[in-house]
């Protein structure tokens, strides 16, 4: 049995979302120019949380969309199970926008690489900024996040789980001893 350690509880989770929203507004001098894109599946839920916060704070509606990166993955053939292909659902024009790309865990950087390629195929944003809930290190590509919920130093074999009410019934961040994020 892998041992499981809770690093962020529900309260801490809400605070972190709040802080990320604040930092995004600050960096972009408001929310007029931004669009939010979440990477399916958990990044998508996080994106909605952050967008909601920003909307409340700035009193405007922030455009939001979801990105499925399956077709851009570099490990499709290595997978034992073929991943279910979901739709990319970005109904607004990304052209000229400052896009906030949201994911739950930043690890090797490969997911973000795929997401960047996917985004560029959809249009030409003014900029892309990366927001992640957890940065656990071990990058394999030259990628860094602009907004980080929490940096958690890990060993390669550990696993970081971002749990969300929408999927898991609770908000929390946990560290698992065995296995690894992909």
Chain positions contacting other proteins, by CB under 8 A: 68, 71-72, 76-89, 117-118, 120-123
Q: How far apart are CA 157 and CA 126, in angstroms?
A: 37
Q: What are phi and psi of 32, to 5 degrees?
A: -65, -40
Closest CB to other proteins among residues 88, 154: 88
Closest approach of other proteins to the CB of residue 94, in Å: 10
Closest CB to other proteins among residues 17, 119: 119
User: Is the Cβ–Cβ distance between 93 and 65 less than 8 Å?
Assistant: no
E strands, the chain, where?
A: 4-8, 34-39, 64-67, 98-106, 127-135, 147-151, 159-163, 172-176
| Residue 161 burial (CB count, 10 A) | 18
Distance of CA 15 to the CA centre of its chain: 16
Closest approach of other proteins to the CB of residue 91, in Å: 11
Closest CB to other proteins among residues 68, 104: 68
Closest approach of other proteins to the CB of residue 104, in Å: 22
Closest approach of other proteins to the CB of residue 103, in Å: 19
Closest CB to other proteins among residues 94, 160: 94
């Amino acid at each position: 049995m892998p041992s499981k350690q809770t690093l962020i509880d529900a309260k801490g989770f809400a605070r972190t979302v709040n802080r990320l929203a604040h930092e995004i507004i600050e960096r972009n001098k408001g929310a007029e120019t931004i669009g939010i894109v979440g990477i399916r599946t958990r990044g998508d839920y996080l994106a909605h949380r952050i967008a909601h916060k920003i909307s409340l704070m700035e009193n405007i509606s922030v455009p939001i969309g979801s990105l499925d990166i399956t077709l851009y993955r570099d490990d499709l053939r290595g997978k034992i199970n073929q991943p279910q292909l979901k739709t990319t659902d970005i109904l607004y024009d990304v052209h000229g926008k400052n896009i906030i790309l949201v994911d739950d865990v930043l690890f090797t950087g490969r997911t973000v690489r795929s997401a960047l390629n996917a985004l560029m195929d959809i249009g030409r944003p003014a900029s892309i900024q990366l927001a992640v809930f957890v940065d656990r290190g071990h990058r394999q590509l030259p990628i860094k996040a602009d907004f980080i919920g929490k940096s958690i130093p890990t060993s390669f074999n550990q696993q970081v789980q971002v749990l969300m009410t929408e999927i898991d019934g609770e908000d929390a961040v946990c560290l698992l001893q065995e296995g690894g994020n992909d």
